[in-house]
Amino acid sequence: MKKALLVVGNPLKGDDSVAIKLGEMIEKLEGWRVFFGNDTPEDEVFKLKKYSPDLVVVADAVIGIEGAEFLSLQKDANYLYSTHNIPLYLIIEFIKEFCDNVLFLGIGVDEKNLGKITFEVSNRALNSLNEAFNKLNDSF
């Protein structure tokens, strides 16, 4: 099975970097290919399509959850899951056109550590990061 992880976030914005850190951890595992979407995940979609994976996991920082959870993104969701130009639910819908198995992995973060420019990641985000890593490593 060809597995791909698309990570979204900004490494200069504290907890928003948590999915990027997940990608750095996962790319050391055999069997995964990581696509670093950073602030513009839409830039990686055509590379992802060319790779032709059987499974795509899209990961991003999420406000309003504890730990790490597989979520169904909806236009009217009551949690904040994207600070990016194109909402992730639209990117995921596009990915579903070429991959049948697409999941969104939300990584819980501290809202207070998102807006400022810093490399510091909160303990809450680090705990969520470890949970996200274990979910991917154990589940697939």
Q: What CATH number corresponds to the domain at position 15? A: 3.40.50.1450
What does pLDDT average to in each consecutive run of 10 residues of the chain (140 residues)?
96 94 96 95 95 97 93 61 67 95 96 88 97 95
Compute the distance between CA of residue 94 and CA of residue 77 in angstroms, rounded to an integer.
19
Report the predicted TM-score, pTM, of the whole model to 2 decimal places. Answer: 0.91
Pairing of the two strands 32-38 and 3-8:
parallel
Count of the separate structural domains present in the chain: 1
- Would you state the pLDDT for residue 75? 57
Domain of 103 in residue numbering reads as: 3-139
| Tokens representing residue 55 in the block | 């499974």
- Helices 123-139 and 18-26: crossing angle, nearest 10°? 40
Q: pLDDT of 64-90, one tens digit each?
A: 899 999 998 765 454 444 445 678 888
Residue 61, φ and ψ in degrees, nearest 5: -65, 140
Query: Which pLDDT belongs to residue 116?
Result: 83
CB atoms within 10 A of CB 134: 12
Q: How confident is the model at residue 46, as a pLDDT? A: 96
